[in-house]
Amino acid sequence: MDRPTGTYPLLERIQDPADLRKLEEVQLEQVCKELRDFIIDVVSVKGENHFGASLGVVELTVALHYVFNTPTTGWSTPIASIRASAAFPSAVRAGTTPLA
């Protein structure tokens, strides 16, 4: 997906959940905003219809990855469930879907 560089400055720094945990708590709101914008951008290009669930769990997903030592604590996202599902934010956080 073509997009201007710097559109997601915090999100682009996160390659896995450990990177998310390096951020300050005050930055998490911006990460959530960037992640919602990213989901909308991807859906608008790919033409997926069902992204409401993905938008609805952004804060929950970011919080879980920030607080718990994921993915080593046992929950991970199967790649098959990523497309247009509530698992999409988790896939972005876990690094199983590219930002580009």
Q: Specify the pTM.
A: 0.67
- pLDDT tens-digit profile of 7-20? 889 988 888 888 99
Hey, what's the torsion of the CAs at 89, 77, 95, 5, to 10 degrees? -30
Q: Regarding the domain with residue range 11-94, which homologous superfamily does it belong to in the CATH classification? A: Thiamin diphosphate (ThDP)-binding fold, Pyr/PP domains (3.40.50.970)
Domain boundaries, the chain: 11-94
Q: Percent of the chain at pLDDT above 70?
A: 62
Rounded to 5 degrees, what are φ and ψ at 83? -60, 120
